[in-house]
Amino acid sequence: MESPVTKGQRLVGAGEPAVQAQFGPPRETYPLDGGTRWLYPTKPYGQFTYAADFDANGKLIAFKQVLSSLEFAQAKIGVWTRDDVLRHFGQPVETAYFPRMDRLVWSYRFKSDDVWPSLMHFYFDPAGVLQLTQITPDPLYDPDRPRLFRR
């Protein structure tokens, strides 16, 4: 079975209708410099979000899976804002606020190093600027965690 990334990369150079015919309408869309990003997330339980990047003429220029260690490493502390994180990774699977730290935290499920079920957390200050990132094990996959249904 062919991966979504392989299917998407084969469409590079094609127009938006071809991408939509293959993957359906995007769940999220964001402006990029000189183009648009379409996101196809698999949340709330999925660990993948596929991004289709289009130029100003609506031609696909890149297709990739953005919830990865390499993609998360692009986030710049003190530079990126909530808008940057949103445009790059899409809506978080979970948000939390820590009053003592005065930080809003957005979390994304992913496979750390393409293996370990994990959560990537982005901590934002009150101005919405990224101050900290943190990777933790995803408790959804903790075998000792009690749950109603087992996989």
Position 146 in a domain: no
The ranges of the chain with pLDDT < 50 are none
Containing structural domain, residue 39: 4-65
Question: The domain that contains 88 carries what CATH number?
Answer: 3.30.1450.10
Structure tokens at 143: 């075998």
Return the sign of the alpha-carbon dihedral for residues 34, 53, 44, 21: positive
Same domain for 59 and 14? yes
pLDDT computed for residue 146 by the predictor: 67
pTM here is 0.90
Best CA proximity match to 138, nearest among 119, 123, 121, 120? 119
pLDDT computed for residue 1 by the predictor: 82
Outline where 38-139 has alpha helix (H): 69-72, 82-89
